[in-house]
Amino acid sequence: DQQVKQNSPSLSVQEGRISILNCDYTNSMFDYFLWYKKYPAEGPTFLISISSIKDKNEDGRFTVFLNKSAKHLSLHIVPSQPGDSAVYFCAASSNSNYQLIWGAGTKLIIKP
Amino acid sequence: DSGVTQTPKHLITATGQRVTLRCSPRSGDLSVYWYQQSLDQGLQFLIQYYNGEERAKGNILERFSAQQFPDLHSELNLSSLELGDSALYFCASSVEGGSETQYFGPGTRLLVL
């Protein structure tokens, strides 16, 4: 049972436009959500996180939105840059479970 | 640079052999996690240690084992290796091991021939 789902395996966006990556979860006990970026053959790099007590967190070009009622979160990147091309993973955790539960990832391709 | 180090970077070995992967967490982090990423697949959580004790277990095979030492570095031992064990193995660390950010090392690429 996939508790964290990223339904889009890939996404192609024009440079300079907004990239929106989506993530859905099923476990209402999740209270902390993270986005990681991963280049091939490298470790995931932490990008941004959000606690369940907030609905938005912003860091530079990256903004994460959390809709608890819909059990949905999204990562907005604006403006998109060529260096943003990577695989993006959504992850979630709860205080009752020490594991991060990971989505399958979305490959973002930024077209020049 | 996340501050998490992993050695070796690459490892090539034969089926049936045993290897040890090493991880040093970020300074101050008490918790270490191991993940496996097979070709074109997502990250599979293997096991977590907190301050020397096993805290959580994921999809770790019985042929695999891990430990965290008093200096907080961790080792992942893979034995009776099979072709399907070829993968990237990542270590991550976090301060306490609860709902918090994990920081990942660069990974060890294991190739079993």
pLDDT in tens, A4-14: 999 999 999 99
Q: Do B45 and A43 touch (CB under 8 A)?
A: no
A102: nearest CB among B31, B42, B48: B42
Q: What are the distances in angstroms from CA B48 to CA A24, A97, B36, B81?
A: 25, 11, 13, 21
HSE, side-chain direction, 13 A CA sphere, residue A39: 7
Question: CA nearest B44 in A: which residue?
Answer: A102
Percent of chain B with pLDDT over 90: 81
- Identify which has the larger pLDDT, B102 or A65: A65
SS (H, E, C) chain B: CCCCEEECCEEEECCCCCEEEEEECCCCCCEEEEEEECCCCCCEEEEEEECCEEEEECCCCCCEEEEECCCCCEEEEECCCCHHHCEEEEEEEECCCCCCCCEECCCEEEEEC
- For residue B2, the model assigns a pLDDT of 86
Give which of A98, A101, A106 to mutate to test B binding, by max B Cβ within 10 Å.
A98
Give which of B43, B100, B111 to mutate to test A binding, by max A Cβ within 10 Å.
B43
Mean pLDDT of all residues in B65-72: 97
Q: Are B98 and A98 in contact (CB under 8 A)?
A: yes
Q: Do A43 and B92 touch (CB under 8 A)?
A: yes
- For residue B41, the model assigns a pLDDT of 74
Q: Which of residues 93-112 of A touch B (CB under 8 A)?
A: 93-95, 97-100, 102-105
Q: Which of residues 37-76 of A touch B (CB under 8 A)?
A: 41-46, 49
Decide if pLDDT at B98 tops 90. no
- For residue A41, the model assigns a pLDDT of 79
3-state secondary structure of A84: helix
The two structure tokens encoding residue A107: 């490959």
- For residue A98, the model assigns a pLDDT of 67
Mean pLDDT of all residues in B13-27: 97
- For residue A1, the model assigns a pLDDT of 65
The burial class, CB within 10 Å (0-12 / 13-18 / 19+), for A10 is exposed
- For residue B8, the model assigns a pLDDT of 97
Decide if pLDDT at A66 tops 80. yes
Sign of CA dihedral B82, B10, B58, B44: negative
| Residue A64 pLDDT level (bands cut at 50, 70, 90) | very high
A10 in contact with chain B, both atoms CB, cutoff 8 A: no
Distance, CA of B38 to CA of A105 (rounded, Å): 13
